[in-house]
Amino acid sequence: MTAKDNAFKGQGPLAGLRVLDIATVVAAPSAAALLADYGAEVLKIELPGVGDGCRAFPPFKDGKALWWKVTNRNKKLISLDLRKPRGLALFKRLLPRFDVLIENFRPGTLDRWGLDRDTLWALKPGLVILRATAFGQTGPYRDRPGFARIFEAMGGLTYISGEADGQPMHAGYPIGDSIGGLFGALGVMTALWKRAAHPDAPGEEIDLSLTEAMLKLIEFLPIKYDLLGESHERSGNTSQYAAPTGVYRTRDGQWVSLSGSTNALFAANCRAIGREDLLSDPRFGGNPARCAHTAELNALFADWFLANDLADVLASFERHKGTLAPIYSARQIVEDPQVKAREFLCTVPDRDFGEVRIQGVVPRFLRDPGAIHTPGGAIGEDNDEVFGDWLALDADEQARLREEGVI
């Protein structure tokens, strides 16, 4: 049995759950990958010859997209064109084997292909359908396309990121996709919980607006505007609800991030920089007072960091139980003793590079842990098994379907 066979067999609390992933790029496929992490058996469908757009995203090694390998881990991969009549017929034969369908086409696309929700539920009663789109299935923006920067910009995160006197900033990674994937996986599991309690319950359709996922993430910003008439503004690396906080440079050119809102943590941080005298200063007698004097506090801490090397900074804060962290690059993450001790970066076999290291499963289950078995593979690499073994199509029939561009 190959590693791929083990992956589809399932290991973890979701073993036995079957998910059909016909989504593209990052957010919705990430939701499917999270379910696969916990043991769900995930089959991903791509367009023949073209594949998922994520395959075109850098970084690349030897022409292979590395991002693809992480986002589509633990999945079986087939190619099938649902827009063609024979492709649609094969899809309808496959669907009854699955508990969950994940898609992220624009609203109404599957309906036009003859796969409206009533048809899907007729093929598989009780099917959970996750529909992930930029703005949801309803509303004036329902037909607009969307990518992570759209969700982040219109979801409020970009506006509050950046320096107070500078332009709004996106993160250097499409965090909107990752957040959407988390909400997608949570939505699926919520629907499955109801079905577990009521096996005869009808199917569920989940309308995931990826922009709403970002709006949910920013928590108090709408209520702040609603009740106080204030729009939350940018403040750079300085927190608006705790002080002192910020990103600071050390003498040897490294960077650290400081936090801590309680009086106890403030005391620990002051002791770490040898300024216990600050504890008796009335300007810093509680978090509200400290927030009112953020600039003074940040300047005091910044001067101390600039006068000390990173190793000494970290040692002092660890000794006094302060709330400080080094700001890690990818190299530092990989080399960190905590990451190594927990073996979070796991090595898995890969057909292109022999083996690769990717992140493990979050969170960890004590009695029934999930696992990462394989990275994302080639377009249609499991066609023979799925179309041959599952659907009993002989080699000649598969060859004809390939010539017609169906698979």
Clarify whether residues 167 and 304 are in a common domain. no
Spatial contact of 127 and 121, defined as CB atoms under 8 Å apart: yes
Clarify whether residues 306 and 351 are in a common domain. no
Clarify whether residues 31 and 77 are in a common domain. yes
Q: Give the pLDDT confidence of 71-122 residue by residue, as tens digits.
A: 999 999 999 999 999 999 999 999 999 999 999 999 999 999 999 999 999 9
Q: Give the pLDDT confidence of 29-72 residue by residue, as tens digits.
A: 999 999 999 999 999 999 999 999 999 999 999 999 999 999 99
| Residue 159 included in any domain | yes
pTM of the model: 0.93
How confident is residue 5, by pLDDT bands cut at 50, 70 and 90? low
Tell me which residue range forms the domain holding 369: 3-217+343-403
Q: Give the pLDDT confidence of 248-292 residue by residue, as tens digits.
A: 999 999 999 999 889 999 999 999 999 999 999 999 999 999 999
Helix, coil or strand: residue 66: helix
Tokens found for residue 236: 């750079």
Clarify whether residues 213 and 307 are in a common domain. no
Last residue within a domain, chosen from 283, 306, 334? 334
Clarify whether residues 283 and 367 are in a common domain. no
| Residue 235 included in any domain | no
| Residue 227 included in any domain | no
Clarify whether residues 7 and 70 are in a common domain. yes
How confident is residue 10, by pLDDT bands cut at 50, 70 and 90? low
Instruction: Please identify which of the residues 37, 52, 177, 382 carries the catalytic annotation.
Output: 177
Spatial contact of 73 and 356, defined as CB atoms under 8 Å apart: no
User: Is the pLDDT confidence value at 4 over 80?
Assistant: no
User: Is the pLDDT confidence value at 8 over 70?
Assistant: no
Backbone CA torsion sign across 104, 105, 106, 108: negative
Backbone CA torsion sign across 187, 102, 110, 120: negative
The arithmetic mean of pLDDT across residues 384-397, rounded, is 96
Clarify whether residues 316 and 273 are in a common domain. yes
Number of structural domains the chain divides into? 2
Q: How far apart are CA 40 and CA 25, in angstroms?
A: 20
How confident is residue 1, by pLDDT bands cut at 50, 70 and 90? very low
Spatial contact of 302 and 236, defined as CB atoms under 8 Å apart: no
The 3 state secondary structure assigned to 182-250 is HHHHHHHHHHHHHHHHCCCCCCEEEEEEHHHHHHHHCCCHHHHHHHHCCCCCCCCCCCCCCCCCEEEEC
Would you state the pLDDT for residue 362? 97
| Residue 233 included in any domain | no
Give the CATH number for residue 120: 3.40.50.10540
Q: Checking DSSP bridges between strand 204-209 and strand 128-133, what pairing results, if any?
A: parallel
**Does residue 312 carry a catalytic annotation?**
no
Last residue within a domain, chosen from 312, 334, 356? 334
Clarify whether residues 208 and 254 are in a common domain. no
Clarify whether residues 156 and 278 are in a common domain. no
Clarify whether residues 61 and 161 are in a common domain. yes
Last residue within a domain, chosen from 334, 359, 381? 334
Clarify whether residues 207 and 279 are in a common domain. no
Clarify whether residues 261 and 391 are in a common domain. no
User: Is the pLDDT confidence value at 9 over 80?
Assistant: no
Spatial contact of 184 and 212, defined as CB atoms under 8 Å apart: no
Q: How far apart are CA 205 and CA 189, in angstroms?
A: 12
